[in-house]
Amino acid sequence: MQRTNYNFPTSIRFGEGIIDELADYLNENKLKKPLIVTDPMLESLDIFKNSIAPIKSKKVFSSIDKNPVKKNVLDGVEAYTSTNCDSIIGFGGGASMDVARAIALKVNHPENDLFDFDDSKGGDRFVVNEIPHFITIPTTSGTGSEVGRSTVISDDVTKEKKILFAPSLMAKKVFVDPTLSIGLPPFITATTGIDALTHNIEAYLASGFNPMCDGMALEAIKLVNNSLEKATKDPCVKSRGEMAMAALIGATAFQKGLGVVHSMAHPLSTKFNMHHGLANAICLPTGVKFNDEVVPERVDEIAKIFELESGRGLAKYLEKYISNLGLPTNLSSQGVEPDDIEHLSDLAMNDPCHGANPRPLTKDLFKQLYKETL
C-alpha cells in the first residue's frame, strides 16, 4: 500500500445561536480590533449588524466584487493596516471568505505581489510570515470556504482566476450558525447548495487516493439530497444546518481535488460575471456524464444516494433536479454564444482544477463540453 499524508481542518463551533459567542471569543484571545470582511449587501442587513453589535471596536470592509479581484484585496490590506487591526473575520459567502483570506495572506507579506502565491506555480513557498488571527463565519452553504486553506482571486485585467494556497491560511476558529442563512433568497440557497453538491461529487470522482475524503463526500451528498429542496422552498433550522454541514464537508473533501466542472465554471464567472454556484449547476450534468465513461463504479455509488438504479441516468437526473430548484440548465440562457466557446476553452485549459479530473482534458474536449452545455 502506498504511503500518503492526510490533513483535516480546524476548530469549528457549530449550532443554532453560536454567533452569540463571537464577542467572548475575541475577548478571550485579546483581539481588540478585528477587520470584518463582508459584502455590501450583507453589511446593510440587520442579521449582520446584530451579529457584530457586541464587538466594541471593529473595522468593516465591504468593497468587494461578486467575483473578487486583486484590487479588492489590496484595498482590504490598506483598511487593515491604516486602522491598526489585529485580526480578520470573514463574514458572509464565498466572495467574503476569499477576500478575507487573501487579505490575511497579503498583510504580512508586503514585499510580494499577491499573485506570487499562485498555487499552480508553487506559491506557498513564499508564505513565510505569520498570518493574522483569522476567523470565519459563513452565511451561505456552498463554497465551504470557512474551513478552506485556499482563496480564488481574479486578475483585474485578464479576469483569469488565480488559486492562492497555504496550510497556514486555515481559520483558527470557525463559527457555523445555521440561523444566519435562514433569510437567504431561494435562488442563492439553490445555487450555493448546488455548489456544495458539486464540490462533493467532484471530490469523490477525483483521481488520487484519499478514502477519508471519499467517505465524507458521500455523506455530504446524502445531506444535500435530504435537505437542499427543503432549504430552498420551505427553510427551517434543520435543513439549513444540514446544508451548512454539507458545505463545510465539501470544502474538506475537495482537498483530494476537483475536476472538469470547476474548470468550466471558473471562466464563466470571470467572463460573464456569472454566480459561481450557478455556473457549477449548469455544468454539473455535463461533467458527470463526461466522467462516467472512466469511473462508472463511482458514478454508480453517487446514483444510489439519489435512489437511481444506475449511474448512467445520473446526469439526466441532476439536470432535472437542478431545474426543479428553479435554476437554468444551459449556458445560452446566460448570454453565452457559440463564438465565446473558443476563449472559454482556453481559460478552462489554464484552470488547474481539471488536473485532478479522472478523465484527462484537452482544449478540443472543453470545446465539445461547452457546446453540449450551450
Is the domain of 120 the same as that of 101? Answer: yes
Final residue belonging to a domain, choices 181, 204, 220: 181
Instruction: Kindly state the percentage of the chain with pLDDT values over 70.
Output: 98
d(CA 298, CA 75): 44
Instruction: Kindly state the percentage of the chain with pLDDT values over 90.
Output: 84
Q: Which domain holds residue 167?
A: 12-181
Instruction: Look up the CATH number of the domain holding residue 142.
Output: 3.40.50.1970
6, part of any domain:
no
Is the domain of 267 the same as that of 242? Answer: yes
270, part of any domain:
yes
Final residue belonging to a domain, choices 132, 148, 181: 181
Per residue in 102-134, pLDDT tens?
A: 999 999 999 999 999 998 889 999 999 999 999
Mean pLDDT of 199-216: 95
Is the domain of 250 the same as that of 347? Answer: yes
Phi/psi for 157 (5° steps) reads: -90, -55
Is the domain of 176 the same as that of 192? Answer: no
Q: How many domains does one find in the chain?
A: 2
d(CA 206, CA 344): 22
pTM of the model: 0.89
- Going by C-alpha positions, the residue among 113, 137, 120, 165 that lies closest to residue 34 is 137
Higher pLDDT, 358 or 9: 358
The C-alpha torsion from 232 through 258 and 267 to 115, rounded to 10°, is 120
Is the domain of 37 the same as that of 51? Answer: yes
Mean pLDDT of 48-76: 94
Is the domain of 210 the same as that of 254? Answer: yes
Is the domain of 203 the same as that of 138? Answer: no
Is the domain of 217 the same as that of 366? Answer: yes
4, part of any domain:
no
Looking at residue 5, what is its pLDDT?
Answer: 55
**103 CB burial (10 A radius; 0-12, 13-18, 19+):** buried
Is the domain of 146 the same as that of 192? Answer: no
